[in-house]
Structure 1
Amino acid sequence: MAELRKPWGGRFREATDRLVEEFTESVSFDRRLALHDIRGSLAHVKALQKAGLLTEEEAQRLSEGLKAIEREIREGRFKFRMELEDVHMNIERALFERIGPLAGKLHTGRSRNDQVATDFKLYLIDETRDILSLLKDLRQVLVAKAEAHLDVIMPGFTHLQHAQPVLFSHHLMAYYEMFTRDAERFREALKRLRISPLGSAALAGTPYPLDRELTAQELDFEKPAANSLDAVSDRDYALEFLFNSAIVMMHLSRLCEEVILWMSPEFGFIDLPDALCTGSSIMPQKKNPDVAELIRGKTGRVYGHLMALLTVLKGLPLTYNRDLQEDKEPVFDTADTVKRSLKLATLMVSGLKPRAARLRAAAEEGYTTATDLADYLVMKGIPFREAHEITGKIVAYAEEKGVKLWELSLEELRRFSESIEADVYEWLTVEGSVARRRTLGGTAPERVREAIASARRQLESENLP
């Protein structure tokens, strides 16, 4: 068997220091690109054959060798070696050991620079599709949960203070909208991901007549990259993936924060299945929403990965620099984190049980129908600013007495405005307050039903790209 040599070793008189090898290797993490690397190489073989750089027999032997290595990788039998630096050289060496010197022709017209960019994009296309599928699962569960609890009223909040009554379903559908925007961002990012770097070689293109349109088509890219310098140095697509992931995690964290608050005795709004919670090693009564807490915690991890790659890229001159090796670990960890978080969030929402009586009671606390009283006065011809002030005084009076607005007598209410009549009490119930918010996007039951029906139609027509 031929001696293991570096692909760039011809110019060097000394062996690489062991510490340098350990510091510069990437196969410990970029091995997850192996199947994508095989795909790119199979497409490159076709371009080499079309360009007359490989005979039909050579192309067939190379393709068969690559597919045999692919089977080994899929079956977990392939042995990655650190001394071969990266996933690309591991596969190239395995091909050499399988078919001999012919393997050396595979790298004709190709650099590891365009090779890794191609692999990385193929990987991110797959990860993006996985995340889109998981986002759809979560959105479907949110819609189902909203539809199942259309009669539950809860307090809406601003500044974490009781504001106005809303439907619990309306609150859940707000998260549906957030995660729908997330899906849209990932779909749009696919357009920029599906531009092929293959054929750009090291940085300047190649003198061989390689058909870049062919390789782009073979790999399901929409078109080849227009500039070879940009193609090998661009990592905008990785940043965009990290940014989109950071927003998903932010939305998940907001949802988890509410789950954590709502499970506390002070709120008591919901319960979660025991299977999604953990206990305490010392306090037997504890039931902790650890899944929600960990998703909230992992959000910072994803934010950090975005900032790390932005920092790596901020001062890089064109084109390829070894700094770009630092692009993969943040992206790999982010993809793993987002997918696990989405799966668990879907389980959590699916198992979440609202405590309807407690939610309704909370909706009546904090004078949440005060705005309705002001609106009532407006309907009686009083300008809103004046109605706002009158209502504020009534709320202060009720607070002092320790009663709710509808517990004040008509005589007491009329002390503040003679425009108030007996029909005012119809405006002070939480059900009435919710029912009156009929504007598009409002919390009135018919509007929420429409939103749920629209979401179902959207989900049914939505195909994964």
Structure 2
Amino acid sequence: MAQLWGGRFTKETDKLVYNFNASISFDQKFYKEDIEGSIAHVTMLGKVGILTAEETEAIIRTLKDILSEVENGTLEISDEYEDIHSFVEANLIDRLGDTGKKLHTGRSRNDQVALDMRLYTRKQIKETDLELKELLETILKIMKENTETIMPGFTHLQKAQPITLAHHMGAYFEMFKRDRLRLHDIYERMNYCPLGSGALAGTTYPLDREYTAELLEFYGPTLNSMDGVSDRDYLIEFLSALSTIMMHLSRFSEEVIIWNSNEYQFVEIDDAYSTGSSIMPQKKNPDIAELVRGKTGRVYGALMSLLTTMKGIPLAYNKDMQEDKELSFDAMDTAKGCIALFNGMLATMKFNKDRMRKSANNGFTNATDAADYLVKHGVPFRDAHGIVGRIVLYCLDKNIAIDDMSLEELKAISPVFEEDIYDAISMETCVNTRLTIGAPSKKAMEDAIRKEEEYLSNDWKHE
């Protein structure tokens, strides 16, 4: 067992205890960040004169060789080592002898793992942001193509008022836009370098922490060494943001699942993103949407796990904090995969526009506009509400839409109605007279689309 801390101990660690304690099975995921951090640390040690130029050059060259060999598969990360830090350092020492042993000067595994996790999380935030941007571009394309595609808007899963598909998609655009803003906010707050914090109290070596932070593209070093090694707020915030992203994806997936049902038939999911039944040949199942909805729980679980782990930990580092990795890695991979797959499903989905339009017509979604018509002709709103309620009951009894009623039938319920009622309650009028900011009219949506295009063109600069 390759251990870097054996001097104090006289007995061999029990194998079961060793395996329980080891993290190599999952923290090998950030081998690149570990080597990147070590190169920056060694570069700084050379700058301040703790290492000679020859030692600095030899260690950096060998670290790059190790990275290259891991990536091309000639060097395998094995569970012979306790963690990824031990693997890298042991291989360095095997190749450089005493020079390799100087890598860890002025550094603890505590600030090393804090750095690795921060570097890895920072990279994941950037990658998640890019996935969300691609999803937003897909949503915006659908919005542009469907400013006149009328469909029912719902409350309580009941048809409420006519809207357009562009308007419906625009709601999700706003959600995922907020998700990106949360990621940007987390990035700004977390982008400080813990390396140089030592075990918890810094070090007596004359480290240049500002220089190390600069090499690793941080805004600067963390300002308290105890917090530097024990802070996982940024990871909790990221998991919280991922949970919100998954909640949005799950809501969207639920709608796709409903829209795909035989009763709605609003959408047709591409064959590549659906499956059939092993026994029922007529089925086309929305598997991707259902899996995204299901996997939301995994991401929530990672957030709750880390919150629970961190709630009772005194300062500074404690081994409990090793539990920040496995579920977090899974949540990061799950969220990115779900965004990408959902985007693929959405981009290839066909919308049954005629079906959407008929659904809006047959759902009394223009009832509010009929009441507004009466109000504009002097009828008090509460009375107008009651009149239209009687009209709806009449239509239900006759199995017709309000638009199908003759003027005589309408006048029998209220003499206020005139021929212009039909134009007033047409789907186009119901939608396009709603001109306020954020409303579904073609004009309001075109204004919104211009703003969303501007937002996407002014992209986040995080370097």
Tell me what 2:232 maps to. Answer: 235
Tell me what 2:355 maps to. Answer: 358
**Greater mean deviation of Cα atoms: 417-426 or 37-46:** 417-426
Tell me what 1:438 maps to. Answer: 435
Tell me what 2:105 maps to. Answer: 108
**What is the SS of the residue equivalent to 1:346?**
helix
Of 455, 458, 463, which aligns to 1:458? 455
Does 1:223 find its partner at 2:220? yes
- For 1:393-404, list aligned pairs within 5 A: 393-404=390-401
**Greater mean deviation of Cα atoms: 76-85 or 198-207:** 76-85
Tell me what 1:174 maps to. Answer: 171
Listed as ranges, the gaps of 5+ residues in structure 2 are none
Tell me what 1:348 maps to. Answer: 345
- Per-residue displacement from partner, 1:76-107 (whole Å, max 9, x unpaired)? 22222323210001000000011111111111
Cα distance, 1:57 vs structure 2 = 1.2
Does 1:256 find its partner at 2:237? no
Q: Tell me the distance in 2 between the aligned counterparts of 1:209 and 1:216.
A: 15
Percent pairwise identity: 48
Cα distance, 1:5 vs structure 2 = 5.1
Listed as ranges, the gaps of 5+ residues in structure 1 are none
- For 1:63-462, list aligned pairs within 5 A: 63-462=60-459
Cα distance, 1:340 vs structure 2 = 0.9
Q: Tell me the distance in 2 between the aligned counterparts of 1:298 and 1:250.
A: 10
- For 1:20-59, list aligned pairs within 5 A: 20-59=17-56
**What is the SS of the residue equivalent to 2:80?**
helix
Cα distance, 1:328 vs structure 2 = 0.6
Structure 2 contact 2–90 (Cα < 8 Å) conserved: no
Q: Tell me the distance in 1 between the aligned counterparts of 2:374 and 2:223.
A: 65
- Per-residue displacement from partner, 1:209-246 (whole Å, max 9, x unpaired)? 10110010000001111111111111011111111101
Runs ≥4 in structure 1, deviation > 4 angstroms? none
Q: Tell me the distance in 2 between the aligned counterparts of 1:275 and 1:327.
A: 35
1:260 maps to amino acid? I
Could you state the TM-score of these two structures normalised by the residue count of structure 2?
0.97
Cα distance, 1:339 vs structure 2 = 1.1
Structure 2 contact 23–82 (Cα < 8 Å) conserved: yes
Q: Tell me the distance in 2 between the aligned counterparts of 1:250 and 1:424.
A: 42
- Per-residue displacement from partner, 1:370-418 (whole Å, max 9, x unpaired)? 1001111221233333322332232223323332212223333234434
Q: Tell me the distance in 2 between the aligned counterparts of 1:344 and 1:372.
A: 39
Q: Tell me the distance in 2 between the aligned counterparts of 1:273 and 1:26.
A: 41
Could you state the TM-score of these two structures normalised by the residue count of structure 1?
0.96
Q: Tell me the distance in 1 between the aligned counterparts of 2:335 and 2:419.
A: 55
- Per-residue displacement from partner, 1:326-367 (whole Å, max 9, x unpaired)? 101111111111111111111111111111111110001221
Alignment length, in residue pairs? 462
Cα distance, 1:32 vs structure 2 = 1.1
Cα distance, 1:72 vs structure 2 = 1.1
Distance 1:464 1:74, change over 3 A: farther
Structure 2 contact 111–195 (Cα < 8 Å) conserved: yes
Q: Tell me the distance in 1 between the aligned counterparts of 2:294 and 2:87.
A: 36
Q: Tell me the distance in 1 between the aligned counterparts of 2:18 and 2:404.
A: 78
Structure 2 contact 259–266 (Cα < 8 Å) conserved: yes
- Per-residue displacement from partner, 1:180-206 (whole Å, max 9, x unpaired)? 111111111101221110100000111
What RMSD in Å do the two structures reach over aligned CA positions?
1.4
Structure 1 contact 95–103 (Cα < 8 Å) conserved: yes
